[in-house]
Homo-oligomer: A and B are copies of this chain.
Amino acid sequence: MNRSNRSWLLERDGTIPLYRQIEQQLRQRISNGEWPVGTRLPSQRKLAEQLGVNRSTITQALDELASWGMVEGNKGGGTRVVNNTWNRLAAATIDWDSYVESGAHQPNLPAIRQINEAEYDSSIIRTGTGEPGPDLLPTEHVRRILADTSDEPFLGYEEPKGSLRLREQIVQYAARQGISCSPESILIVSGALQALQLIAVGLLQRPSCIVAEKPSYIQSVRVFQSAGIGVHAVQMDEHGIQINHLQQQITEHQPGLLYTIPTFHNPTGTILSSERRAELLELSSSLSLPLIEDDVYRELWLDEEPPPPLKSQDRQGNILYVGSLSKMMSPGIRVGWIIAPVPVIDRLADIKMQTDYGSSGLSQYVAARWLADGHQEQHQTWVRQQLRTRRARLLAALEQYFGDIAQWNAPAGGFYIWLSLPTNVNVHRLFTLALREQILIHPGYMYDWQASHHIRLSYSYADMKQLEQSIYRLRQLVKQCMNT
List the interface of chain A (C-beta within 8 A of B): 3-4, 6-8, 25, 28-29, 31-37, 39-40, 84, 86-87, 90-97, 99-100, 102-105, 107-108, 113, 116-117, 120, 131, 134, 137-139, 142-143, 146-150, 153-160, 164, 168, 180-185, 190-191, 193-194, 197, 201-206, 219, 222-223, 226-228, 256, 285-290, 314-319, 329-334, 341-344, 346-347, 350-351, 353-363, 366
Given A190-B360, A316-B94, A356-B190, the answer on whether A331 and B143 have CB atoms closer than 8 Å is: no
Tell me which residues across on chain B come within 8 A of A191, comparing CB atoms.
Answer: 356-357
Contact partners of A315 in chain B: CB under 8 A: 31-33, 84, 86-87
Q: Which residues of B contact A350 (CB under 8 A)?
A: 107-108, 113
Which of A116, A155, A330, A363 has the most chain B CB atoms closer than 10 A to its own CB?
Answer: A155
Interface contact A180-B92, CB-CB below 8 Å: no
Q: Which of B134, B193, B329, B332 contacts A355 (CB 8 A)?
A: B193
Report whether B342 and A39 are in contact in the complex, using a CB–CB cutoff of 8 Å: yes
Pairwise interchain contact A164-B104, C-beta atoms closer than 8 A:
no
CA distance A325 to B11 in the complex (A): 33
| Minimum CB–CB distance for A111 against chain B, Å | 13
CB pair A343–B86 under 8 Å, yes or no, is: no
Chain B residues closer than 8 Å to A131, beta-carbon distance = 156-157
Smallest CB separation, A22 vs chain B (Å): 13
A-B contact pairs, 20 of them (CB 8 A): A3-B159, A4-B184, A6-B164, A7-B164, A29-B185, A29-B342, A34-B185, A35-B341, A36-B316, A91-B286, A100-B203, A100-B343, A103-B205, A147-B148, A154-B332, A155-B331, A219-B354, A222-B354, A226-B354, A332-B360
Which residues of the partner chain B approach A334 to less than 8 Å between Cβ atoms? 356-361
Since A99-B344, A105-B202 are in contact, a sample of 6 more A-B pairs with Cβ atoms closer than 8 Å, ordered by chain A residue number, is A100-B203, A131-B157, A137-B156, A147-B148, A155-B329, A197-B355
The reply to whether B143 and A149 form a contact with Cβ atoms under 8 Å apart is yes
Contact of A362 among B134, B290, B314, B333 (CB under 8 A): B333
Chain B nearest CB from A247 CB (Å) reads: 15
How far, in whole Å, are A154 and B90 apart by their CA atoms in the complex? Answer: 45
- CB A96 to nearest CB in B, in angstroms, measures 5
With A146-B146, A332-B361, A360-B362 already in contact, the answer to whether A351 and B33 are too (CB < 8 A) is no
- Chain B's closest residue to A201 (CB) is B105
Contact assessment for A153 and B137 in the assembled complex, using a CB-CB cutoff below 8 Å: yes
- If A153-B134, A223-B355, A362-B360 touch, whether A204 touches B333 (CB-CB below 8 Å) is no
Question: Given contacts A203-B103, A333-B362, are A285 and B317 in contact (CB under 8 A)?
Answer: no
A434 to B437 Cα, complex, angstroms: 68
Contact at A202–B86, with CB atoms within 8 Å?
A: no
Name which residue of chain B comes closest to A137, CB basis: B155
Q: Which residue of B lies closest to A142 (CB)?
A: B155
Determine if A96 and B317 form an interchain contact, defined as CB atoms under 8 angstroms apart.
yes
A87 with B316: CB separation less than 8 A: yes
Residues of B within 8 A of A228 (CB): 104
CB pair B182–A7 under 8 Å, yes or no, is: yes
B103:A347 contact, CB within 8 angstroms: yes
Contacts of A3 in B (CB 8 A): 159, 164
Q: Name the distance in Å between A215's Cβ and chain B's nearest Cβ.
A: 18
Quick check: B183 and A7 within 8 Å, CB to CB? Answer: yes
Q: Residues of B contacting A190 with CB < 8 Å? A: 190, 356-357, 359-360
- A315-B87, A333-B361 known; A287-B164 Cβ under 8 A: no
A-B complex: 6 closest residue pairs judged by Cβ atoms: A332-B361, A33-B317, A36-B317, A102-B205, A86-B315, A155-B330
Which residue of B has the minimal Cβ distance to A42? B342
**The residue from B34, B164, B203, B366 contacting A341, defined by CB atoms under 8 A apart:** B34
Nearest residue (CB) in B for A227 is B104
**Given A3-B164, A94-B290, A102-B204: A35 and B317 interface contact (C-beta under 8 Å):** yes
Nearest neighbor of A334 in chain B, beta-carbon distance: B360
Alpha-carbon gap, A461 to B249, bound state (A): 54
Complex: how many Å from CA A361 to CA B351?
Answer: 23
Q: Which residues of B contact A107 (CB under 8 A)?
A: 347, 350
Q: How far is the CB of A455 from chain B (nearest CB, A)?
A: 21
- Give the distance to chain B from A463, nearest Cβ to Cβ, in Å: 15
Q: For the complex, what is the distance from the CA of A370 to the CA of B56, rounded to whole Å?
A: 41
Chain B residues in 8 Å Cβ range of A290: 94, 99
| CB of A81, distance to nearest CB on chain B (Å) | 9
Give the residues in chain B near A333, CB-CB below 8 Å.
Answer: 155, 360-362
